[in-house]
Amino acid sequence: MKFIRVLAFAIVGSLSWSASAETLVKILHLQKLPKTLAIWQEAAKQYESAHPGVKVQFDYLENEAFKAKLPTLLQSKDRPSAFHSWGGGVMFEQISAGVCQDITQAITEGGFKDTFYPAGIQNFTYQGKTYGLPNDVGPIVFWYNKELCQKAGVDPQKIKYWDDFVEAVKKCLAAGVTPIAAGGKDKWPLHFYPTFLMMRIMGKEGMQAAYEGKNGGFAGPDVIKAFQLYKEFAALQPFQKGFLANTYPESAGTFHDGKTAFHLMGTWDLPEGRSYAADGKGLPDEKLGWIFFP
């Protein structure tokens, strides 16, 4: 089972898709990559050409600033027409507050919904109604620095089980190599560890059962086992010094500056993470490898 982050744009309830003489579609996002933005701009230009009187406006906010400001923006008169979303509990609150528009019928007509990865649609569907669409998916993997792993005598491609990874971390520590970069201040980079462990122990059916409150829910024995493994792992001190005060950009910079052997992060860490390196380029492809979470 892979952990996949699905990024999407949720539609705000006040948005009308019928073009008027002065229709402004404001899209609030946290995308910083020029190549991706260029694709969006081209798509917007084509839409504007086909719909005279419609203007598409892209507004950027940095990741953490986005999270902090979005709740206020959604309650204001200047709220966006569509906004970036991760789905889950936060989106449930937005739906409950009535700020998201049900687009189920609109995306079903003509089979448009079927052109998307099914899990992406599911991630933004609540009680049979869909409120957003994915614009990309990002599998979460362990990136590794080939040179540092070689120095520590670690072959990441032989890591198949959690115990294998724990042993790899111990080898790194023994060789004077900092095992892992993590942005603890932002919290979400660390939540991957207990979540993955729960997924590996419980499987999809077990996770669903816990969500439904069965077998003790998220206080059940398998969930406790996952967090116990994580606690024991953290006791090894596998992360860089100061990781609890580091943000994701800082931890990504640490890894891409060649200071740690591993970094558990999504595929976006290639373009975005590299940009946070001291030289703005990060580790080149020939020095990078990746494995799935064991």
Count of beta carbons in the 10 Å neighbourhood of residue 231:
10
Residue-wise pLDDT tens digits, 165-195 = 999 999 999 999 999 999 999 999 999 999 9
φ, ψ at 108 (rounded to 5°): -80, -35
- Identical fold between 4-130 and 139-291: yes
Query: Burial level of 196, CB count in 10 A (0-12/13-18/19+)?
Result: buried
Structure token digits, residue 247: 């943000």
Q: Specify the pLDDT at position 85.
A: 87
The CA-CA-CA angle for residues 268, 274, 280, to 5°, reads: 145
Q: Specify the pLDDT at position 189.
A: 96
Helix (H, G, I), strand (E, B) or coil at 289: strand
Per DSSP bridges, beta strands 4-11 and 82-85 are: antiparallel
CATH of 139-291, one of 3.90.79.10, 3.40.190.10, 1.10.3720.10, 3.40.50.300: 3.40.190.10
Residue-wise pLDDT tens digits, 140-169 = 999 999 999 999 999 999 999 999 999 999
Task: Give me the sign of the Cα torsion angle 183, 139, 158, 202.
Answer: positive
The class (CATH top level) of 4-130 is: alpha beta
Which residues of the chain carry a pLDDT beneath 70? Answer: 1-21
Q: Specify the pLDDT at position 88.
A: 81
Q: Specify the pLDDT at position 103.
A: 93
Q: What is the pTM of this model?
A: 0.81
For the chain, the domains span 4-130, 139-291
Q: Specify the pLDDT at position 16.
A: 42
Q: Specify the pLDDT at position 81.
A: 92
Contacts of residue 56, Cβ cutoff 8 Å, sequence gap at least 6: 25, 27, 44, 47, 48
DSSP of 107-121, one letter per residue? HHGGGGGGGS-HHHH
